[in-house]
Amino acid sequence: MEKLRHLNYVNDETFARNWARSRAHSRGYGPNRIEQELRAKGIAPTLLREVVRELFADMDVAEYAGRLLAKRFNGQDLSAPRARARAAAFLQRRGYSSKVIFDLLRYSIEED
């Protein structure tokens, strides 16, 4: 165990940062989903909040969610209630807040 610590393999902070960055960039996960996954992995609450805050501090979460939505629904009309509900559920499963989802879907409907 000491050898692993010396090689920096047993480091919750490094693991949490790498895990969060990977999930956000490769899968498009939002702050809530990443926080939930890190909590399930046993990362301390203060550390996981710090990691998530730092990761999403540099990016516009709504813009990121909008790109994800555009990629997933590929230009489909989201003004119908059923399509809007599917889009909202998709973003919610990905870990975006209700505020981001509401603002994004309302904005795209007004834009049409």
CATH number of this structure's domain 2-57: 1.10.10
Q: CA–CA separation, 25 vs 8, rounded Å? A: 24
Residue pointed to by tokens 């909590």? 39
Query: How high is the pLDDT of residue 87?
Result: 93
Cβ atoms within 10 Å, residue 67: 11
Query: How high is the pLDDT of residue 39?
Result: 94
Evaluate whether 49 touches 38 at the Cβ level (below 8 Å).
Answer: no
Query: How high is the pLDDT of residue 107?
Result: 54
Evaluate whether 34 touches 95 at the Cβ level (below 8 Å).
Answer: yes
Query: How high is the pLDDT of residue 9?
Result: 67
The residues of the chain scoring below 70 in pLDDT are: 7-9, 107-112
The DSSP output letter for 15 is H
Q: CA–CA separation, 28 vs 21, rounded Å? A: 10
Domain range annotation of the chain: 2-57, 61-111
